[in-house]
């Protein structure tokens, strides 16, 4: 079967990044890549901070953070007054969990597509409070309607205190029907936290249109912000209940300042984040999204073909808009977290290719991403060399 043609490269896009050209960076979804212009903007801010730390931290910094927040929240389609900047999506989840006041016997409901660190956070908070964690299994090939019904059947009104669902899942690149899930949970009086770590920059969906009680997303992945930039969006009825993980001098200012201000934190990433959005818009939002999704689809097909995976067995759980794709690895490979990490490191070392390898539901999965700095030949080279490496065990 003919492999679909890759998209036309975006002229000059590769030159916007300082990535090592000897490595194929096919895993943008893990840590992103910061454009050079954004790096320089952040460095100027760091120079300003180091030139006079006292002035930087005490003269208008809270207002500068609020200005950056308003810019980022507007891009996300969120209420700036209900948005707090945090270090990453996992930190935002932790803020919500410890603000709920969970009690013994109550439960936090998740799915088996959730991010590992979020699962650890849920586990820790349940151990601390006496609440319990319960996980709903969701088949990779489930339709949106089936996912909604699985969630509907899994909710326990009066006991389920929080439902956590991903907008785009990390291990399986699955696009969940977040708005429909929120609607079902609201009918049963269950608050929902949407983990949208991969959504900002990749998807055009508005946060407000999802309607979740809590929504958290990283801007340092697909929105070109410096690392350590994420947004926690909280619905109005919950804002006064949200408490920071660490109390600071802005504690009495209420949400969001009490969450954002952490004394001597390096805030330059947040202040430089709007430059990332400027870079994204300069390239063209729609053009970048279409390019990245099409390139990821090309990479999935060419590598899948090389591994002998029939096109019908290549999952497309995210749909055509998601710039991350999965390829099932041969049975017996990378079936545990440790084995997956070891295989990823071996691919990086021997093939000079950065990819994501995950163990999910007893199977090893290779995840490939598409980004404007990638080219079709990078996936072609991986397709040529990967089967030999995997055959070596």
Q: Residue 313 is part of a domain; what is its CATH number?
A: 3.90.1150.10
Pairing label, strands 107-111, 160-166: parallel
Judge whether 5 lies within some domain: no
> Domain for residue 61, yes or no?
yes
The predicted model gives 82-98 an average pLDDT of 97
Regarding whether 60 and 157 lie in a shared domain, the answer is: yes
Give the CATH number for residue 166.
3.40.640.10
Report the 10 Å Cβ neighbour count for 337: 12
3-state helix, strand, coil in the chain (%, to 5): 45, 15, 40
Q: What is the pLDDT of residues 246-276, one digit of tens each?
A: 999 999 999 999 999 988 899 999 999 999 9
Q: Which are the contacts of 226, defined by CB distance < 8 A and separation ≥ 6?
A: 34, 38, 39, 42, 220, 268, 269, 272, 273, 276
Residue 43 shares a structural domain with residue 185: yes
User: What's the confidence (pLDDT) of residue 205?
Assistant: 76
Same domain for 79 and 134, yes or no, is yes
Mean pLDDT to the nearest integer, 344-351: 98
* pLDDT of 38 over the 90 cut: yes
Residue 27 and residue 91 in one domain: no
Helix (H/G/I), strand (E/B), else coil: 116: helix
Q: Pull the structure tokens for residue 363.
A: 């199977």
Domain stop point among 248, 278, 308: 278
If you search the block for the tokens 């691919």, which residue do you land on? 347
The pLDDT-based confidence of 316 (bands split at 50, 70, 90) is confident
- Residue 113 shares a structural domain with residue 236: yes
Distance CA 235, CA 14 (A): 39
Per-residue pLDDT at 320 = 78
Q: Are residues 274 and 290 in the same domain?
A: no
Residues, the chain: 393
Domain check: are 312 and 179 in the same one? no
Same-domain check for residues 228 and 182:
yes
CA angle (296, 353, 346) in 5-degree steps:
125
Q: Are residues 18 and 122 in the same domain?
A: no
In a domain, 354, yes or no: yes
pLDDT level of residue 126 (50, 70, 90 thresholds): very high
Residue 317 has pLDDT above 80, yes or no: no
Tell me what the pLDDT averaged over the chain comes to.
Answer: 95
The whole-number pLDDT of residue 2 equals 61
Q: Using alpha carbons, list the distances in angstroms from residue 212 to 132, 158, 170.
A: 22, 19, 19
Average pLDDT over residues 109-126: 96
Domain count, the chain: 2
d(CA 258, CA 268): 18
The boundaries of the domain holding residue 368 are 13-33+284-391
Within this chain, do residues 152 and 293 fall inside the same structural domain, yes or no?
A: no
List 234's β-bridge partners, or say none. Answer: 214
Out of 227, 259, 278, pick the residue that ends a domain: 278
Burial of 179 (0-12, 13-18, 19+ CB in 10 A): middle
How far is residue 376 from each of residues 18, 28, 47, 294, measured CA to CA in Å?
19, 15, 38, 10
Please give the order of strands across the beta sheet that includes 132-136: 83-86, 230-234, 214-218, 192-195, 160-166, 107-111, 132-136
Examine the domain organization and report whether 214 and 100 are in the same domain: yes
Neighbour tally for 77: CB within 10 Å: 14
Same domain, 259 and 297: no
């Amino acid at each position: 079967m003919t492999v679909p043609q890759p998209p036309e490269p975006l002229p000059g896009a590769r030159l916007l990044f300082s990535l090592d050209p000897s490595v194929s960076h096919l895993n943008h979804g893990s840590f992103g890549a910061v454009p050079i212009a954004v790096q320089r903007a952040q460095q100027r801010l760091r120079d300003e901070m180091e030139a006079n730390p006292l002035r930087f931290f005490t003269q208008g910094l809270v207002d500068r953070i609020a200005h950056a927040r308003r810019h980022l929240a507007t891009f996300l389609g969120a209420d700036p007054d209900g948005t707090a900047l945090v270090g990453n999506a996992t930190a935002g989840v932790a803020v919500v969990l410890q603000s709920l006041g969970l009690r013994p016997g109550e439960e936090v409901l998740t799915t088996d597509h959730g991010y590992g660190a979020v699962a650890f956070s849920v586990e820790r908070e349940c151990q601390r409070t006496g609440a319990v964690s319960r996980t709903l299994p969701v088949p990779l090939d489930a339709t949106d309607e089936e996912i909604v019904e699985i969630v509907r059947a899994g909710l326990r009104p009066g006991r389920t205190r929080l439902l956590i669902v991903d907008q785009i899942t990390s291990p399986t690149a699955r696009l969940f029907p977040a708005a429909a899930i929120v609607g079902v949970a609201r009918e049963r009086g269950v608050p929902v936290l949407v983990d949208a770590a991969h959504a900002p920059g990749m998807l055009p969906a508005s946060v407000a249109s999802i309607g979740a009680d809590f929504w958290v997303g990283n801007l340092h992945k697909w929105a070109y912000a410096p690392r350590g930039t994420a947004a926690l969006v909280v619905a109005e009825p919950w804002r006064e209940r949200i408490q920071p993980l660490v109390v600071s001098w802005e504690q009495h200012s209420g949400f969001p300042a009490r969450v954002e201000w952490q004394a001597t934190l390096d805030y330059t990433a947040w202040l430089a984040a709007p430059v990332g959005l400027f870079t994204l818009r300069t390239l063209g939002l729609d053009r970048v999204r279409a390019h990245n999704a099409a390139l990821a689809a090309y990479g999935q097909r060419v590598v899948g073909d090389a591994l002998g995976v029939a096109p019908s067995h290549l999952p497309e759980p995210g749909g055509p808009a998601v710039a991350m794709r999965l390829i099932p690895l041969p049975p017996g490979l990378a079936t545990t977290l440790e084995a997956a990490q070891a295989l990823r490191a071996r691919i990086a070392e021997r093939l000079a290719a950065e990819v994501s390898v995950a163990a999910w539901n007893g199977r090893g999965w290779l995840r490939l991403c598409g980004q404007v700095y990638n080219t079709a030949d990078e996936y072609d080279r991986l397709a040529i060399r990967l089967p030999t490496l995997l055959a070596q065990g």
